[in-house]
A = this chain, B = another copy of it.
Amino acid sequence: MSAANLRARVRAEMTEEIKRVARRHLATDGANLSLRAVARDLGMASSAVYRYFASRDELLTALIIDAYDAVGDAAEQAAAAAPTPLDKWLAACHAARDWALANPPEWALIYGSPVPGYQAPQDTVVPATRVLLLLGATLAEAHRGGLVAERSLITGGFADELVPVAASFYPDLPARVVADTLAAFFQLCGAISAELFGQLNKSIEQDRRGFFEFQMRGAANQAGLT
């Protein structure tokens, strides 16, 4: 049955090869990468690429899902290797930052401004939440272990909206901690994007990692994790 697999195998390899070259082009062209340029690099006609991806957006979607999974993998592995919840927290944050620094255009693709005219399909929402869920799981573990300090209750309607959404993942987590998880995740994204997109242009050159950890310790502290 090797003959039966030939086409499928070649197709899979070709798909991966296209994505690899597209990732390379992402570095220079950003979100508006040129399908023709990718095809040219592969020595094939541009129309042939459409046998593998129905449109440029579909190729972008594949890259986006891969990126979400890559940063999710990195963060989860780093967290798994750390002993305490706070260590897991910091390890996950650093892993996300390290991945972003190693793959800037892909970070921009998933956490930067949305590509104009591109509508993210449903396939992307699950991988997109992995890092957030990891932070939440870390906080939930710490909460079960009594490591999350109590703080003032939150006021406002957003807590009532947030709890039912989080209930399926962390049934026993108070609304305040859920809100802090989401806030911390946004802070993580903000810190990495700011560094990556040049917001702290010349203010900190050397110890950017230290400043990042300062911020993430602040986020953990704000959530009550010590």
Binary contact track A196-208/B, C-beta < 8 Å → 1, others 0:
0111111111111
B114 A161 Cβ-Cβ under 8 A: no
A30 B187 Cβ-Cβ under 8 A: no
A207 B156 Cβ-Cβ under 8 A: yes
Binary contact track A207-222/B, C-beta < 8 Å → 1, others 0:
1101101110010011
Q: Which residues of B contact A186 (CB under 8 A)?
A: 187, 190-191, 194, 199-200, 215
Residues of A179-198 at the interface with B, using a CB-CB cut-off of 8 Å, are: 179-180, 182-183, 185-191, 193-194, 197-198
Contact among B28, B117, B199, B211 with A158 in the assembled complex (CB-CB below 8 Å): B211
Contact among B29, B179, B191 with A190 in the assembled complex (CB-CB below 8 Å): B191
- Cβ of A125 < 8 Å from any Cβ of B? yes
CB distance from A7 to the nearest CB of B (A): 35
A31 B203 Cβ-Cβ under 8 A: no
- Cβ of A154 < 8 Å from any Cβ of B? yes
A116 B202 Cβ-Cβ under 8 A: no
- Cβ of A108 < 8 Å from any Cβ of B? yes
Question: How many A residues face the partner with a CB closer than 8 A?
Answer: 58
Q: Which residues of B contact A190 (CB under 8 A)?
A: 186-191, 193-194
A31 vs B194: C-alpha distance when bound (angstroms)? 18
A209 vs B115: C-alpha distance when bound (angstroms)? 25
Closest chain B residue to A223, Cβ basis: B218
- Cβ of A80 < 8 Å from any Cβ of B? no
**Sample of 9 A–B contacts (CB below 8 Å):** A113-B113, A155-B210, A156-B211, A158-B204, A161-B205, A180-B218, A186-B190, A187-B187, A189-B194
